[in-house]
């Protein structure tokens, strides 16, 4: 006998996370992220750290203080007790970057079993930029001219039309899907369920919301950070303060700072000591390390990854879009 549904639960829940469960947030032109489920809250991290009491015995300020201490001193095991499960859809070239984070449970859409939707990511003109001269794996920040963008768009569309046509012909001829798919471009969309604990999610987000990450995966990171903010707001706050807006410093960088504020700092300041490039080089910092240190000391804006709830869509709208993009298996008429 089936039981009637009930909203009552003995699980710890986060009301603001409950508000977005089952809502799909668009990313790029055809992608999305949805928080499917979560296990645990900020309070669960404290409970795991102390393992000596039940819920409801601590003030939020005490929970916040402990969580910030844990984050500050890299005591990560308690945060592994909280998990988040996402449904994500992204271009394949982003999926290949994403899967490098090998600390999650993943189940991806199967192109061997199911027909691939003919949906392709097309960058906007602002994102089609020249190659960076200082970063071999990044873009320069300078968008190409309109004529160059138009020609790139024409070539993308030509390649995709040929690729999609070949795929649709092969599948209509009942050729094996696992082989019919092999020449689909990396712009083709895939999707997966992705479950990860909070500790490893924070590591993923730290790298993927960073300005040096590829812009497209930053877009996914920002939405997921907004979801985290609703599940574990105190952990999110500590992550912003210590990781996103904080930084690591090397031995040489610490030596440089000590020359100004450490032992003997008053005497050095009286002598006009400064963090100029020459004095930093004398401490063993390379030219690039000097540049990075100045970057670390530059003021940073505090990001706010708040979700735009008005952009959320139901799962059925994306399902319909993907269903319409799946090629027909009927043989084309002569």
Active site residues: 208
Q: Round to whole Å and give the CA distance between 86 and 171.
A: 30
The distance of Cα 220 from the centroid of its chain, to the nearest Å, equals 5
Closest CA to 305 of 181, 209, 184: 209
């Amino acid at each position: 006998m089936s039981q009637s549904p009930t909203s009552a639960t003995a699980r710890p829940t986060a009301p603001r996370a409950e508000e977005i469960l089952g809502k799909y947030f668009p990313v790029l032109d055809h992608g999305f992220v949805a928080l499917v489920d979560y296990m645990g809250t900020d309070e669960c991290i404290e409970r795991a750290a102390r393992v000596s009491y039940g819920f409801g015995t601590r003030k939020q300020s005490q929970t916040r203080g402990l969580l910030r201490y844990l984050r500050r001193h890299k005591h990560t095991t308690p945060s592994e007790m909280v998990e988040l499960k996402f449904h994500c859809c992204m271009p394949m070239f982003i999926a290949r970057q994403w899967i490098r984070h090998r600390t999650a449970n993943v189940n991806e859409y199967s192109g061997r079993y199911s027909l691939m939707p003919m949906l392709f990511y097309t960058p906007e003109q602002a994102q089609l930029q020249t190659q960076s001269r200082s970063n071999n794996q990044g873009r320069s920040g300078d968008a190409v001219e309109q004529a160059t963008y138009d020609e790139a768009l024409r070539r993308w569309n030509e390649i995709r039309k040929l690729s999609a046509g070949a795929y649709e012909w092969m599948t209509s001829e009942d050729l094996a899907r696992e082989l019919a798919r092999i020449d689909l471009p990396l712009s083709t969309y895939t999707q997966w369920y992705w479950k990860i604990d909070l500790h490893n999610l924070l590591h993923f987000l730290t790298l993927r919301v960073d300005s040096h990450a590829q812009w497209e995966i930053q877009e996914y990171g920002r939405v997921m950070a907004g979801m985290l903010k609703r599940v574990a707001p105190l952990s999110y706050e500590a992550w912003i303060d210590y990781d996103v807006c904080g930084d690591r410093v090397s031995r040489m960088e610490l030596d440089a700072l000590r020359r100004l504020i450490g032992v003997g700092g008053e005497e050095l300041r009286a002598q006009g000591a400064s963090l100029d490039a020459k004095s930093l080089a004398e401490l063993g910092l390379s030219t690039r390390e000097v540049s990075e240190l100045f970057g670390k000391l530059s003021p940073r804006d505090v990001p706010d990854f708040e979700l735009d709830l008005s952009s959320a869509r139901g799962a059925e709208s994306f399902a319909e879009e993907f269903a319409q993009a799946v090629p027909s298996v009927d043989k084309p008429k002569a």
